[in-house]
Structure 1
Amino acid sequence: MRLLPRLALALVLVPMLALPSRGRAQDAAAPSDAAPEEPPPSPELAEAMERYEGAERLFEQGDYRGALAEFQRIYELLEGHPNQFFVLYNLGRAYEELHRYDLAIDMYRRYLDEGGDGAEDRAEVEASLRALERLLGTVAITIAEGGPDTAEVWLGEWQVGVAPGEVHIPGGQHTIEVRAQGYEVLRREIQVASRQRIELELELARLSDFRGVTPALFVTSTALAVASLGIAIGLGVNAMTLSQDAEACRDTAGCGLDPSARRAEIRDFALAADVMYGVAGLFAVTSIVLIFVTDWGAMPEPELMEAQPTALRVLPAIGPQHAGLVLDGRF
């Protein structure tokens, strides 16, 4: 099948001039009078004729997608024109070359319906329709219970239909995609022969509603890391102070400190400081991880934060013989 020739389309686009009246015809017959000038085409018709030249060139070069885009624009420009239906034929040709036989069939049918008696090549187009219909297979798709009410069915970069329902695709082996908002994309390898009908029941998995943890966890983890670090520093300072006291006592006559007991006390404080440094590091690593898994959009508005008192406070408690954390909260 060929494209609608450029000359034929150009003739279609040129608006028919109204026949002159008898008086004007007699005036036009006078040799001294100039022939009436034809009114220029409208801007839409002029653009359509210009675009057709490019569309024809793209089609001949094998750029069927580019030609399709041009033909679609031409069809829009001819809105309301009595011969707009001619462009439907060329749209069908472009879809046919792109192996979208279902859309080509739709364009050819519209061409025949809208063209009526004006579609002089009706027999040829009807023969093409019958040939294309024999190239398509039918896939009847249903969605398992619990799935979405409707889903889009894609073949490559084309949407070929919706599910539940029937889609018509060229015979062969294909990978179809079923897409629905709130559900994971389902890909399925299928094989369908031309003029064959197969049935599929597909189960779509719902996407997780998890968007991240609350920012309160990050704030709490960071506060615990800071508090643990403060306790560790306090314990370390206390161990250093006891060590300095022991050194001073050793150089002082009559000092009554028990060196063994003091060394054990220093060792305990140093060990506790090391443990708290480790705890602080653990909470710090946790805070870093929480940065990436926190739903920051869930943070309350500033005015709400001011209106609500802090629910939890972590305070260090350090003494000569003890160290720990104090939780102060309102529930």
Structure 2
Amino acid sequence: MRGKQLGHWGRAIAAALGVGLAAGVAAAQPARSAPAGTPPAATPPAAPPPAETPLAESLTGMARAEHGAGAALFDDGDYAGALARYERAYELSRDHRLLWKVALCQKNLRRYAKMIATLRRMEAEAGAALSARDKQDIADLIKAAGAFVSFLEITSSEPGAAVFVDDEPVGTTPLAAPVPIDIGERRIRVSKPGFVDFVRQEKVVGGDSVALVARLDRAVHRGRLAIAAGQDDLIAIDGKVVGKGRWEGSVQSGTHALRVTAPGMTPHEAQILVRDDERRRIDVSLERAAQRGGASKWLWIGGGAAIFAGALVAGSLLFEPGTPAEQGSLGTVPLGFGGRR
């Protein structure tokens, strides 16, 4: 932007950090005197900068309302509330002037790493809208905040892994540039699906760099399964015989088909779920299968009854026509077999 309002906010942040901007330092230097006899150079009149509409007036709708609420909260010392309102106003308007105020709130909250990220974001998004003075202000502010942050460099064995600082995402490997992180105890995590997370707890001091090599190992989802059965029982896992009597081994996490068999015994079949890093023990006791002789006995009884009934019918046919059959407790079953009276 044309430097007026941005410079104001930039100098406000720098003053709060306790440092002077390069422009202020340069202005404090004594001017060199011209050699004697040199006529003064003619200075063309500078064109006045075009008038700029103040931010509070150029915003409209909800963006203007959020900005007003942010200003009121800031004046009241509620920097966290003001930060939320300014960020919302920026989302609605995309007016990069709001990022100065976002950065000032972050400074007051001692979130210096985020402040640097905000300033870099403004520099990238505003582009040509920033004056040379604005760009110098941003550079000076980032330099001034360097005493309160360190810069994280991650070398990862896997590209495309997400990098988190205190569980907040800060980039993806390979990082485009070192990431500013605040001083103090920081939890750094590098994560990618299918791999075991790389996690480090680092004590960060200001004005330094933190370089980490994150080696990501592939995640192995396995557990252990132990089967105890009879001495001669065959044990099969997922259709493959793995042992006799007892077996224990590593299996992939998930559901597995167990089958235990032995001659003359009823097979035992079950679906076994094994979780990551779990040891699952299964005890199996087979039961004897039903005897085939019992079934043949009933078949013999049934066949004998049929033969018996056939004999009764055959016997009744030996009577001459008109000869009545003797009645008994069996009703229509004749009690006399053959023979005449």
TM score, norm. by length of structure 2: 0.46
Of Structure 1 and Structure 2, which has the larger fraction of its residues in strand? 2
TM score, norm. by length of structure 1: 0.47
